[in-house]
Structure 1
Amino acid sequence: MKEYDYTITCPKCGTVLLKTSVTDSQIRCPKCRRFFDIRLMDGIIRIQEIGEKTKSKAEVS
């Protein structure tokens, strides 16, 4: 195992999304079909849902 390998699970349903050392990517959960933006900043992995927020803003306007 590499020093920076990690496993990312979907924060909504718990499905394993990514097992890699690759960072800064966008992935889609195959189970709940939500999109997430993955960023590694200062040794901390940040997961942000994307797509869902865009739809919400469009519906409010």
Structure 2
Amino acid sequence: MNPLKKYLLVIPSIDIKDGKTVRVVQGIPELNCKEYGNDPVEMAMIWRAENAKMLHV
């Protein structure tokens, strides 16, 4: 492996509102949160299956 090779670590984010996974607009939960699922743990397991090394919750 080339020691000068650069890597980018992408850290997926899971936003939770009222126990559901949501998409927060501009980091403000009061603005139009769209629901993406009922189970944040399931979403975390999906990201882990995609080889995420970390999650931001």
TM-score (norm 1): 0.26
Higher relative contact order (CA 8 A, sep 6+): 2
Query: Which structure's CA Rg is the greater one?
Result: 2
TM-score (norm 2): 0.27
